[in-house]
Structure 1
Amino acid sequence: MLTKTNEYYQERKLSFDETFRTRIHRSLSWLRKADTFTGDADLDMKFICLWIAFNAAYGKSLPAIDHSCSEKYAFKSFIEKIISLDSVNLLASVVCGKYAMRISFLVENKFTFQKYWDFTKGVEEASDWKRSLSASVKKYNDCRISMDVSTILSIVFDRLYVLRNQLMHGGSSCGSKLNRETIDDAVGFLSDLIPSMLLVMMMNYKKDHDWGELFYVPVKE
């Protein structure tokens, strides 16, 4: 999928305005870097590059006082927007296709469920984490049957965000054996999903389509 997305960008980049072109270029640059990591020992670095690629695709400058626009809120809004534009069901083919089993493992794994970690820290409100996890898994399975891609991705990214925090905030050793299979599942899924998202964005490019102001707009002196 990365090759197809990169080729599409190269063929049409001059027709994009500079802001949109920069957004796609930045994301693709991190996807290409992620693609250079091929061994099991490099899974952590690959995941981090993939998450940066995702950040580059959806990230936008937000008012500091707008507390409702948290990072999770921002990327979930982005995902919903992508799904609404995805008339050819590219995301559905990733979610419900060859990666369906991998993301099922992510959803069912207590170690990617934030409420479980809250419970281990003694948070009283998290004492029912097992019931909450079961309810989340059931919701995910119901959405697979109904092909509710938006809700599926919302659930999956809740799990991926836990992995992201473990790595980015030093909550996991580099190359830890404890999360190898989980990171591997996440990397396989994101490696197809993010290029698919970029392709949907480019296929639906309009100069008046607002993806938000870029973080750190390039300055030419």
Structure 2
Amino acid sequence: MLSFTNLKHRHRNERKGYSQALSTRVHRALSWLQKAEMCEDDDSKFTFLWIAFNSAYAQEFEQKVNFGERGLYQEFLTRLVELDSENLLSNIVWHNYSGAIRAVLNNEFVLESYWNYQSGRITEDQWKDARSKAKIVANTALGYNNTALVLSVVFSRLYTLRNQIIHGGSTFGSSVNRKQLRDCTIILEQILPVIIKVMMDSRNELWGDPVYPLIEK
């Protein structure tokens, strides 16, 4: 299993051959992956894993309020799946399909439209329609073995949980959201190291400059 230790060792050996942008992304992502691996609680582990993902992705998506079931990340995730010559991401998706991934896709508490309904921003009919459409997208992706689309849908659910935690919408250690938090953490802790590996495998690809560039003093 990929871990901070073996990925960091590889990065030290190869970083001279990376662009500055890629090396910065990988270095930052690995620092947060290391912190996540040190955590014993899922609240902290999930949060640090998400920061690691942001470090690798590093796009200005925080200002995008509205996003569909395909999520904010489909282009990035599709690219990763295409570059994943060992099919590690596909193996994770289909190995976990009957476990954590199915649980997340069937859990309405990590569906953004559910919270929009609870907050009064949409009607009950609109919520039910959104839930129905979400199931159709997820089932279509699963039915066609579309790894990139499954990941995109899953990440849109992870993003909902991320918002709950980062914006103070949940209580640390609460028993209320333990199931979805655990399932989401399981998925992210398996996928994140693979994302970093695929990016390192694809060092000749253009990953773009980080939103916050490295400042040398």
TM-score, with structure 1 as normaliser: 0.85
Cα pair distance change 1:92/1:100, threshold 3 Å: farther
- The one-letter amino acid paired with 2:11 is Y
Cα pair distance change 1:88/1:70, threshold 3 Å: farther
1:37–1:43 CA contact under 8 A, matched in 2? yes
1:82–1:197 CA contact under 8 A, matched in 2? yes
RMSD of aligned C-alpha atoms?
A: 2.3
Cα pair distance change 1:46/1:157, threshold 3 Å: same
Q: Deviations over 1:77-109 (max 9, x none)?
A: 321221221232111111111364101111111
1:61–1:213 CA contact under 8 A, matched in 2? no
- The one-letter amino acid paired with 2:133 is A
Distance 2:117 2:198 in 1: 39
Aligned to 1:45: 44
- The one-letter amino acid paired with 2:216 is K
Alignment of 1:13 with 2:15, yes or no, is yes
Give the superposition deviation at 1:74. 5.6
Q: Deviations over 1:130-189 (max 9, x none)?
A: 343233224323322321011111111111111000000000111111011111111111
Aligned to 1:98: 96
Aligned to 1:219: 215
Alignment partner of 1:198 out of 187, 192, 196: 196
- The one-letter amino acid paired with 1:23 is R
Give the superposition deviation at 1:20. 1.2
The residue correspondences of 1:61-72 to structure 2 (distance < 5 A) are none
The residue correspondences of 1:41-190 to structure 2 (distance < 5 A) are 42-60=41-59, 75-98=73-96, 100-125=98-123, 127-190=125-188
2:19–2:203 CA contact under 8 A, matched in 1? no
Aligned to 1:31: 33
SS of residue paired to 2:177:
helix
Q: Using the aligned pairs only, state the percent identity.
A: 33
Distance 1:201 1:70 in 2: 27
SS of residue paired to 1:80:
helix
Corresponding residue pairs, total: 211
Distance 1:19 1:70 in 2: 27
Does 12-21 or 132-141 show the bigger shift? 132-141
Distance 2:72 2:214 in 1: 22
- For structure 1, which runs of at least 5 residues remain unmatched after alignment? none
SS of residue paired to 2:176:
helix
- For structure 2, which runs of at least 5 residues remain unmatched after alignment? none
- The one-letter amino acid paired with 2:51 is I
Distance 2:100 2:187 in 1: 7
Distance 2:97 2:153 in 1: 15
TM-score, with structure 2 as normaliser: 0.86
- The one-letter amino acid paired with 1:57 is A
Q: Deviations over 1:28-50 (max 9, x none)?
A: 11001100013xxx211111100
